[in-house]
Amino acid sequence: MNERYAAPMFDHCLYFNTTALARQLERKWAEAFQPFGLTPPQAFLLRAVLDQPGLTLRDLAEHLVVSRPTATRSIDGLVAKGLLLRVGSQADGRDVLIQPTPEAHGLRAALNQASAQVTRQLKAQLGESQFTDAVARVRHVRSGLG
């Protein structure tokens, strides 16, 4: 959306501005992860599992700041694609651990590169310090409201 067409009444609205920003970022990451056949939520979840194999659903949902049903849907899609496995926990039979498959391990570097490329593009557009400051401020607001 062109800035000059934005309704002035929303200039100071946190919801409007963060939602508009989220849509813009969603498009950028969707494009980056499209070659892998993954949505941004799936790709970020997969990257989290690759970084920390064996997380429980609960831990993964908390780590990604999503609900358990949302995490479950992404996991279901990644299991169907052959990228994740659900493995019973030996410590607690009620827990299921989420593990990456060998195919997922094969995508790790390329997924990280794709995400890093988007980050580099954003830093180039915004400037390094403005990017870093924006991320820190959004994280601060998010944690303050949580």
Q: Would you say residue 10 has pLDDT above 90? A: no
Task: Lowest mean pLDDT of 10-14, 17-21, 29-33, 36-40, name the range.
Answer: 10-14
E strands in the chain: 55-56, 84-88, 96-100
The answer as to whether 3 is a domain residue is no
Report CA dihedral (139, 141, 143, 146) to the nearest 10 degrees: -140
Whether 13 is covered by a domain: the verdict is no
Query: Count of domains in the chain?
Result: 1
CB neighbour list of residue 107: distance below 8 Å, 6 or more residues apart? 36, 46, 83
CATH of the domain at 52: 1.10.10.10
Q: Per residue in 67-124, pLDDT tens?
A: 999 999 999 999 999 999 999 877 766 788 999 999 999 999 999 999 999 999 999 9
Q: Is the pLDDT assigned to residue 60 strictly greater than 90?
A: yes
Domain range enclosing 44: 27-145
9 occurs within a structural domain: no
1 domain residue, yes or no: no
Assess if residue 69 is contained within a domain. Answer: yes
What are the distances in angstroms from CA 37 to CA 19, 32, 107?
24, 10, 11
Asked whether residue 18 is domain-assigned, the answer is no
Q: Within a domain: residue 19?
A: no
Residue 71 counted as domain residue? yes
Report phi then psi at 92, rounded to 5. -145, 110
Count the Cβ atoms, other than its own, within 10 Å of residue 12: 8
pLDDT given for residue 12 in this prediction: 85
Alpha carbon distance 13, 39 (integer Å): 28
Predicted confidence at residue 88, as pLDDT, reads 86
CA 68 to each of CA 59, 84, 99, 108: distance values in angstroms, whole numbers, following the listed order: 9, 16, 17, 24
pTM over 0.75: yes
